[in-house]
Amino acid sequence: MEIVRAYTGRKKQRLSTVEYESCQKKYDNAIECVFLKPAWSDSWLYSEDEADFTLTHPGKKSEEPRHISSKKRHSKVVDMIAKNLKSGNIEKAKDQHEGDYYRAFKRFSEWTPELQSLSVKLLGDKACADPELYNYLGMKAETFFPSSEMLMTATKLYTKVDECAQATPALALSKYVQNSRFRLGLLSVMQNDCATADAVFTKLSKAVVSDYSSRAFYWKAFCAKSDSKKQVEYLSNYEELFKMNPLGFHTLSMNHGMSPLSDNLLKPIDPIIQLRAKKNGALNLSLNAWIGVLEDLDHMGETGVVRKLLLPIKNNPEYLNNLEPGVRLYLSSFAFRAKDTISLFRILDSVFRTQSEYVVDSTMKLFYPIKHLDIIESEVKRVNPFLITALVRQESAFQEEAHSRVGAVGLMQLMPSTARLMKRGVTRTQLFRAETNLKIGIKYYEMLVERYKGDVELALAAYNAGPEVVDQWQKRYPMKNKLLFLDLIPYSETRNYVALIGRNYFWYSKLYADQLKGTGIAQTTPMVFEALVQ
């Protein structure tokens, strides 16, 4: 295509703004028209760093904000908010940002009389305050669990948010309402109140946020399963869970660590690939123009530019919703040849979530590739090599050069300071080498497994969030139901992290059962994810 040649030529010939606008009109704002934009296309094409897009940190917002800008200025704002909360003033402060309520509550090391008065005021008001305020005050109350009084307070605060959202339906879209309902449902399960849990999770199951809605179907099924009169309801909820996340950790847990899709891996089936997209029965000019550019770039070996054109999939996975499953599989071939594993994983994940019949041996081995298994096998002593492979897939998508914005580097996304605790003098540059990174990362993870007496789920949570935080969560949520504990983890990133690696490990073990060469205990002993078999 002329558009591609305009970009790939050595002088990167630029066309006029008129031609750019003509392209946009002709192809319905097609993404490849970026090559015609004189002013800003170079900065767009060269500014993005693929290594920043890791599966561990895909841009998801945690319930607990991690960073703030302009810290000195912002600290004063947070101090003012904390002062207002102490006095019972719930009006937002000037220049207050999202997440500042959380930061203000961090100023309180105890559940003070001021916080108790604030909760009484918020619960007693007929009018509804900001859902963010209720949400973070409820989560602050949780930090003082297992106090029964604090459990009651948190439950009431989350219930208030639920009632406010029922009175004002527009609030239901708020992520703070979603999180408050999620935690209310879990706390209700914890208190054996399945009636309340089912009502709350029913609302949450209809939410757009799949992180909450898929879990909502699991807990609805969990509650119905224990009631002999609700077996039809149990099966209905399980079917919805399976449709929403057929490969997922919660789906596996509902099957006691098994999957009905395992048999698909034994069938010699290759899914149908579709080369062009359609819209309302006709060819989709915009998307097909984009696919045409990918074909030309792929043919010319311009893998770097292919990765750039796949950026919308990384930045906004919902972009894939406009494409038929067969077209997505076709796009996955470009991502595979460009060695863009993150785009590859996200494309295939979107296919599997809606088309479980595409779960076959060939597609699953693209989704779960094996890399560096020889190094991993030589280094593990306490854990099965597939667990480390599952962890590496989640941390870096097997990209040796991966680095995060917070400074974690390499295959196992090690912080240099943590790595130096394991091996004195190791440099950041050395951590980009596969063998060095794996050797240190495995040693660190196995140390965590030993610390948690063989509990791989707690060790994974500690690898992601830190052992000190996990120790606090253990004290806060003492319970036998491991999956309930994992879902109660306050950091969305960490609870998703553990669930995804558990899922990965299950499928690696199914796909490559005959690949391990070693005969040691670590190689021959499968790891037990308690949440899957309880």
Residue 516 in any domain: the answer is: yes
Is the previous residue joined to 416 through a cis bond, with omega within 30 degrees of 0?
no
CATH (domain of 481): 1.10.530.10
- Choosing from 138, 158, 191, the residue where a domain stops is 191
Q: Please tell me the distance from the alpha carbon of residue 46 to that of residue 238, in angstroms, as a whole number.
A: 45
Alpha carbons 501 and 493: distance in angstroms, whole number: 12
- Catalytic: 50? no
For residue 254, give the H/E element and its range. helix 249-254
Instruction: Give the pLDDT confidence of 405-441 residue by residue, as tens digits.
Output: 889 999 999 999 999 999 999 999 999 999 999 999 9
391 and 515 share one domain = yes
Q: Which residue has the higher pLDDT, 51 or 224?
A: 224
Q: Which domain holds residue 30?
A: 2-52
> How large is the angle between the packed helices 194-205 and 148-167, nearest 10 degrees?
40
Q: How many helices (H) and strands (E) does the chain have?
A: 29, 2
* pLDDT one-digit tens code per residue, 448-477: 999 999 999 999 999 999 999 999 999 999
- Does residue 69 carry a pLDDT above 80? no
Are 14 and 138 in the same domain?
no
End of a domain among 191, 216, 236?
Answer: 191
Q: Is residue 44 domain-shared with residue 81, that is, in the same domain?
A: no
Average pLDDT over residues 134-163: 98
Say if residue 369 is preceded by a cis peptide, omega within 30 of 0.
no
For residue 356, is it within any domain? Answer: no
| Per-residue pLDDT at 34 | 52
The answer to whether 501 and 391 have CB atoms below 8 angstroms apart is: yes
Of 157, 191, 225, which one is at a domain's C-terminal end? 191
Same domain? For 76 and 176 the reply is yes
Spatial distance between the Cα atoms of 331 and 348, rounded to a whole number of angstroms: 9
Same structural domain for residues 478 and 385?
yes
Together in a domain, 36 and 172? no
Same domain, 46 and 140: no
Q: What is the DSSP letter of 486?
A: H
**pLDDT confidence tier of residue 319, bands split at 50, 70 and 90:** confident
Within a domain: 489: yes
Which one has a higher pLDDT value, 232 or 353?
A: 232
Write the single-letter amino acid at 473. W
pLDDT of residue 74: 77
100 and 40 within one domain: no
Residues 467 and 488 in one domain: yes
**Are residues 409 and 518 part of one domain?**
yes
Residues 122 and 20 in one domain: no
Q: Mean pLDDT, to the nearest integer, of 38-67?
A: 39
Cα–Cα distance measured from residue 328 to residue 275, given in angstroms and rounded to the nearest whole number: 9
Give the tokens for residue 473: 């969560």
With 0.85 as the threshold, say if the pTM is over it: yes
**Would you list the DSSP string of 405-452?**
TTS-BTTTTB-HHHHHHHSTT--TTGGGSHHHHHHHHHHHHHHHHHHT
Query: Is residue 66 predicted with pLDDT exceeding 80?
Result: no
Do 382 and 524 share a structural domain?
A: yes
CB atoms within 10 A of CB 330: 20
The active-site residue, picked from 240, 302, 395, 530, is 395
As for how many domains the chain has, the answer is: 3
Q: Which two tokens stand for residue 230?
A: 């609700």
Q: Is residue 211 part of a domain?
A: no
Q: Is position 344 within any domain?
A: no
332 within a domain of the structure (yes/no) = no
Question: How far is the C-alpha of 475 from the C-alpha of 468, rounded, in Å?
Answer: 11
Q: Which residue has the higher pLDDT, 172 or 188?
A: 188
Q: Note the pLDDT tens digit of each residue in 477-527.
A: 999 999 999 999 999 999 999 999 999 999 999 999 888 877 677 777 788
